[in-house]
């Protein structure tokens, strides 16, 4: 019946308008009707660099299209109640964007030597259709089957951290970044850049070559912060993943020490840096935000706490600050019928601590509690605005399995077994218990925390394994599949 209604709308439009306008309004009618019937959602798969966004999308598609049964996804109600008919990827509406490379990612995960998919270098999207039998509400009265359309967008995590720049002018951004450069763990790497900045005459006529030289130094420093320290607040993100802006003057800016300057000399180095910063916000960050981050209905924020714990107290603290800055730039709140049509807001948000398979099973809850302690204030404010918020430990794709090892006394100890990425060796490992709250610097254990990274590990029949992906699906999608 719904299909007939869509076709009727389309036929009416086609009979009244020329073909070009008809196609445009037909697309808008489809979207409007799907939203009015609650048949379409846009899911924000959010996370910083290497948090697992690409792996999550790949796993979601693979599990729903290939392994959607009670044994594999027992806590996803539409599957447990045997109402899911089938799921498949379908052509997307965003024709100007590349399609998410699902098959390429899957071939990396399931190859002769399983490996993680390449990091995302550009924006891409994927549309997933879930056909099911409704069991409640208006849909169950007018049709035997219904289809939920889910749009997912993948993008470089480095670009995500540019969103907080929207609320900062050049002077505010410089002050924020300069303070970071003076703090550990950045301080030990930043001295050469700071010395070079001290030689730059900000009031002198613009010197393009000098600015380009320092911008290159700043870019190399950001790359080092990312690779060696696994830091999160790295701006501008396009310096790390420039895409089609590689080599553009737009990216050749960097933070400077304002020293309470009262004026900026026209045509000076400082004026030029400010102009580039403003152009970057206007031409890069603002369109990225308006085109892709203003129309989400649901959101999952993937967080890699284990890598942050391995890097130390400063990195963990920065990740918490980055999450707070990030969520300030999404639209949250209850989404009524009218808002869903014209101005959707995120009404459900899941904070997910990824890589829970790297811990013993009994410590999964500790990881979730740690993440909850980091986002507690934000959760409280979001709940006040009517948003449903949950915190969970999960693994979209498992890289280890639990094994039992007996100690000298014969007592069984639960360890994890996997192929370590650094050594390339298969190891049996007893992971530490993660803290259940953020520790201060003086509380941090002297030996620190160490959580190795592992290659993906498949089942005996060459399939992907997950932990709580069904819980994730139920929270984010379950109410739309009633």
Alpha-carbon gap, residue 30 to 129, rounded angstroms: 14
Residue 2 has a pLDDT of 46
- Phi and psi at residue 298, to the nearest 5°: -135, 160
Alpha-carbon gap, residue 456 to 106, rounded angstroms: 11
Length of the chain: 482
Alpha-carbon gap, residue 392 to 388, rounded angstroms: 13
- Phi and psi at residue 127, to the nearest 5°: -115, 130
Q: Which of 360, 370, 375 is nearest to 451 (CA)?
A: 360
**Alpha-carbon distances of 400 from 358, 435, 452, rounded to whole Å:** 6, 21, 11
Residue 30 has a pLDDT of 47
Q: What region, left, alpha or beta, does residue 341 occupy, with left being phi > 0 and alpha being psi -120 to 50 degrees?
A: alpha
Residue 19 has a pLDDT of 46
* Domains within the chain, CATH numbers bracketed: 1-36 (no CATH), 39-160+295-399+460-481 (3.40.50), 163-289 (no CATH)
pLDDT confidence tier of residue 343, bands split at 50, 70 and 90: low
Lowest mean pLDDT among 37-46, 128-137, 158-167, 362-371: 37-46
pLDDT confidence tier of residue 293, bands split at 50, 70 and 90: confident
DSSP assignment letter at 393: E
Backbone CA torsion sign across 364, 365, 370, 376: positive
8 pLDDT more than 80: no
Q: Do the strands 412-419 and 84-90 form a parallel or antiparallel pair, or are they unpaired?
A: unpaired
Residue 66 has a pLDDT of 94
Strands (E), 60-176: 84-90, 124-132, 146-154
The DSSP code sequence of 196-254 is HHHT--TTSBP-HHHHHHHHHHHHHHHHHHHHHH--S--SSGGGTS-GGGTT-GGG---
Indicate the helix (H) or strand (E) that contains 8. Answer: helix 2-16
C-alpha 376: how far from chain center: 19
In contact, 41 and 480? CB cutoff 8 Å: yes
Both tokens assigned to 82: 């045997």
With tokens 């790297």, the residue in question is 358
Q: Report, as an integer, the average pLDDT of 403-414.
A: 88
Residue 408 has a pLDDT of 82
In contact, 132 and 148? CB cutoff 8 Å: yes
10 pLDDT more than 60: no
Residues paired with 299 in a beta bridge: 44, 349
Alpha-carbon gap, residue 121 to 243, rounded angstroms: 7
pTM: 0.88
Q: Report, as an integer, the average pLDDT of 135-163.
A: 87
pLDDT, averaged across the chain: 88
Residue 25 has a pLDDT of 47
- pLDDT tens for residues 358-407? 999 999 999 999 999 999 998 999 999 899 999 999 999 999 999 999 88
Alpha-carbon gap, residue 43 to 150, rounded angstroms: 7
DSSP assignment letter at 111: S
Residue 336 has a pLDDT of 45
Alpha-carbon gap, residue 215 to 211, rounded angstroms: 6
Q: Do the strands 298-303 and 348-353 form a parallel or antiparallel pair, or are they unpaired?
A: parallel
Residue 34 has a pLDDT of 46
Residues 6+ apart with CB under 8 A from 408: none
């Amino acid at each position: 019946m719904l299909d007939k209604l869509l076709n009727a709308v389309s036929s009416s439009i086609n009979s009244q308008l020329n073909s070009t306008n008809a196609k445009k309004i037909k697309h808008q009618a489809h979207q409007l009707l799907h939203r009015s019937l609650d048949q379409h959602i846009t899911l924000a798969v959010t996370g910083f660099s290497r948090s697992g966004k690409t792996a999550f999308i790949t796993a979601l598609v693979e599990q729903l299209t290939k392994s959607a049964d009670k044994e594999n996804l027992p806590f996803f109600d539409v599957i447990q109640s045997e109402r899911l008919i089938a799921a498949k990827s379908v052509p997307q509406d965003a024709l100007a964007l590349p399609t998410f490379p699902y098959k390429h990612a899957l071939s990396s995960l399931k190859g002769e030597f399983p490996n993680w998919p390449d990091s995302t270098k550009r924006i891409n999207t994927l549309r997933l259709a879930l056909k099911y039998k409704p069991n409640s509400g208006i849909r169950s009265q007018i049709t035997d089957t219904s289809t939920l359309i889910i749009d997912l967008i993948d993008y470089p995590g480095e670009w995500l951290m540019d969103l907080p720049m929207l609320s900062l002018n050049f002077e505010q951004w410089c002050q924020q970044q300069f303070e970071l450069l003076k703090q550990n763990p950045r301080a030990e790497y930043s001295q050469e850049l700071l010395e070079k900045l001290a030689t730059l005459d900000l009031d002198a006529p613009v010197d393009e070559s000098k600015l380009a030289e320092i911008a290159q130094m700043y870019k190399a420093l950001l790359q080092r912060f990312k690779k060696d320290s696994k830091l999160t607040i790295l701006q501008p993100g396009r310096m790390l993943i420039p895409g089609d802006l590689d080599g553009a003057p737009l990216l050749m800016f960097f933070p400077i020490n304002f020293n309470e300057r009262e004026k900026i000399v026209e045509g000076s180095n400082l004026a030029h840096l400010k102009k580039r910063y403003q152009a970057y916000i206007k031409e890069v960050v603002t369109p990225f935000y308006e085109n892709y981050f203003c129309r989400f209905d649901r959101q999952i924020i993937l967080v890699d706490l284990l890598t942050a714990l391995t890097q130390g107290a400063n990195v963990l603290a920065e990740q918490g600050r980055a999450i707070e800055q990030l969520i300030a730039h999404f639209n949250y709140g209850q989404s009524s019928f009218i808002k869903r049509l014209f101005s959707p807001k995120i009404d459900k948000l899941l904070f997910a601590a990824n890589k829970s398979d790297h811990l013993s099973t009994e410590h999964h809850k500790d990881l979730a509690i740690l993440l909850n302690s980091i986002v507690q204030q934000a959760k409280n404010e979001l709940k006040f605005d009517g948003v449903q918020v949950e915190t969970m430990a999960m693994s979209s794709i498992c890289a280890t399995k639990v094994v039992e090892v007996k100690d000298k006394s014969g007592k069984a100890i639960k360890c994890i077994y996997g192929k370590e990425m650094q050594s390339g060796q298969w190891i049996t490992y007893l992971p530490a218990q993660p803290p259940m709250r953020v520790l201060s610097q003086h509380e941090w254990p002297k030996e620190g925390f160490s959580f190795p990274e592992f290659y993906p590990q498949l089942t005996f029949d060459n399939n992907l394994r997950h932990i709580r992906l069904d819980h994730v699906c139920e929270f984010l999608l379950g109410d739309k599949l009633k």
